[in-house]
Each structure stands twice: as structure tokens, then as C-alpha cells.
Amino acid sequence: MEQPIAAAGLTKTFGDFTAVDGIDLTIEPGESFAMLGPNGAGKSSTMRMVSTVSPITSGSLRIFGMDPHVDGPAIRDRLGVVAQENNLDDELSVVENIILYGRYFGLSWKEARAKATELLGFAQLEDRADARVTSLSGGMKRRLAIARALVNDPDLVLLDEPTTGLDPQARHLLWQRLYELKERGVTLLLTTHYMDEAEQLADRLVVMDHGTIVAQGAPAELIAEHVTREVLEVRYPPEAEIDLESLGLRLESLTDRILIYTDDGEATMTELVNSGRTPSSSLVRRASLEDVFLALTGRRLVE
């Protein structure tokens, strides 16, 4: 199969504002790829260009080897798009949403109906087939949006913040569905500002900030490259004046706590206690992509 996405110097501007600032991106068939970054990093603008609905400002972009400006319909025939905002057809029932979407892709009524039955099963919405879309919960709507995006058996599925605003249970259910797609060999491109989502689903990811790519690689590689194996989180009473700088530790001060990057959290903790710097609370955990983002930009993903 041709490369699903190949972008070089891809740029998108809106007036004076540069949303995407010359990014290079290639995604191989079957890969599960994430764009991680805070709101306004340029993730959604990139998604919209890849989905062919937003013209690129400059640079080059090829989807399955085709130019989105010229071959929009042929590209979209092989794409499944789950937009960030819910854009289900509120005037239709659950099953009609999938059937009619199949018709837009040129499926016959018979094919579209068969596909709808199959996808309702996939989305675990069989018992809601005739319900109005407006009566569904947030998690169900998102599952329906994903089911609808699969009606044309896409080779590449784009998911813009698929689990934003969902409760933990709904997120895990959704991740299962996406994992199943990945197992089937479907290429996935997703944006998220949750590092655990990227860690769960992505083979490879880019960290984006202010329209540029600040780091890329596999989740474990990025953690190894930019932060330590473990992180010790400590809290001190607000009035306490503790000097940690002189210990020569790698620190990151947040409003409510201090992160200490270390390869052995327990040993560092012992060091703090022994030097009379016992914190009021502490926690040792494995380093995450959130720490990578913080180390790279000095800011957190979700403010």
C-alpha cells in the first residue's frame, strides 16, 4: 500500500496566525500514530488538512500518494474521519446515521444496511439502533461517530481528540474499539492531549507545540530520551523554605508540587529525608509523556 500520509514543510495560516508551522510527517501503512499537544498546538488544523477539507497554505501533502487539492473525493473514499465536535445527524436515528453515511459513500441500500448492522455490533449499540441520536450519552455518541466513519472500510482513520470529555469507563471502552481496529491493520492517526491515550494507542507519536513538532518517536523512546525512568513528586507546606537546588537534582516546580526526575525515586527520597528535607507528602511513579512535554516546553498538557 502507498504511504497513507506524507507531509513536508506542511503549513497552515489563518490571516496573521500560523496554526501549523512547516511540519514534516510520514505515516506508514498499519501504523498507529498520535499527535500529542495542548489546545492550539496545531493538531486539529493538521487533521483538517489531511482530511482534505482544509486547503494547505504551503509545503506538500500527499495522502495515499494523491494530492488532496486535486483528488479530494478519491482520497476521502479511503478515509474515515471522526471530528472533534460531535457532528452526527441529529435528525436521523442511530442506524440511519450509518446507513445514510454509507449512501454518501456510494454503497447500495442493501450494502449500507448490512454494514450498519455489523457496525452497530462493533460499537455495542445494537439495542439503540432506532433511538434518536440526541438521546445517547457522550460515550455512545462517540462510538457511533467511529462506527459511522468505518462504513466505507477506510484504510486510514483520523480521530480528533476521540475521548475528550468522556468519563474513564467510556474512554476505556473506546480504547478497546480503537485497539481492535489497530489489530485489523487499519492505519490510525489520532490527536489527543492525554498522554495516557497516546501511550495506550500509539506506536509512534509527535509532540506538538505552537504549530511545530518538538519531539517524535515511540512513547518509551521519548521518555528515555527526554526524562528519567522515575519521577518523585513531593509536596511541602506553603510556608516552608526548602532548598532543593543545592542537591543538584533535576527539578520542575508546579503550582502545587515539585517533580524530581531521578532514576531511583526511593533512593532520592531517602536522600531528602537524610538531609532534613522531609516533604509533607511524596509519591514515586514512572515517568510519562506528560513529563516529556513538561521537560520540552515548561508547560503541562492540560492546564
Partner 1 sequence: MIAFLLPWRLVERNVIFYKRNPVVLLSAALEPFIFLFGLGVGLGKIVGDVTWAGEVLTYPEFVAPALVASSAMNGALFEMSYNFYFKLKESGTFEAILFTPLRLSHIYDGELVWAMLRGGIYSIVFVVALWVFGLLASPWAVFIPLVALLVGLAFAGLASWATTYVRHWQDFDLFFLVTQPLFLLSTTFFALDVYPEWCRPIVQATPLYHGVDLTRDLARGTVDVSAFGHLGYLLAMVAITRVLAVRRLAVLLQN
Footprint of partner 1 on this chain (CB under 8 A)?
14, 51, 53-55, 72-74, 76-77, 79, 81, 83, 85-92, 96, 100-101, 103-106, 148-149, 152
Amino acid at 155: D
CB of 116 to partner 1, least distance (A): 13
Judged by beta carbon, residue 128 or residue 226, the one nearer partner 1 is 128
* Alpha carbons 162 and 165: distance in angstroms, whole number: 9
Give the three cell numbers for residue 224: 528515555
Judged by beta carbon, residue 90 or residue 167, the one nearer partner 1 is 90
Give the three cell numbers for residue 122: 462493533
Integer angstrom CA distances of residue 151 from 84, 99, 118, 293: 18, 8, 9, 36
Burial, 189: exposed, middle or buried (Cβ in 10 Å; 0-12, 13-18, 19+)? buried
CB of 201 to partner 1, least distance (A): 21
CB of 146 to partner 1, least distance (A): 13
Judged by beta carbon, residue 92 or residue 283, the one nearer partner 1 is 92
CB of 105 to partner 1, least distance (A): 5
* Most distant CA pair in the chain, distance: 75
CB of 73 to partner 1, least distance (A): 4
Residue written as cell 511545530? 212
Judged by beta carbon, residue 119 or residue 294, the one nearer partner 1 is 119
Judged by beta carbon, residue 87 or residue 137, the one nearer partner 1 is 87
Judged by beta carbon, residue 92 or residue 242, the one nearer partner 1 is 92
Inter-residue contact 187 to 201 (CB < 8 Å)? no
Residue 67: CA count within 13 A, CB half-sphere? 6
Judged by beta carbon, residue 13 or residue 117, the one nearer partner 1 is 13
CB of 52 to partner 1, least distance (A): 8
- List beta partners, residue 205: 34, 217
CB of 80 to partner 1, least distance (A): 8
Give the three cell numbers for residue 218: 515511540
| Dihedral (CA of 103, 109, 112, 117) sign | positive
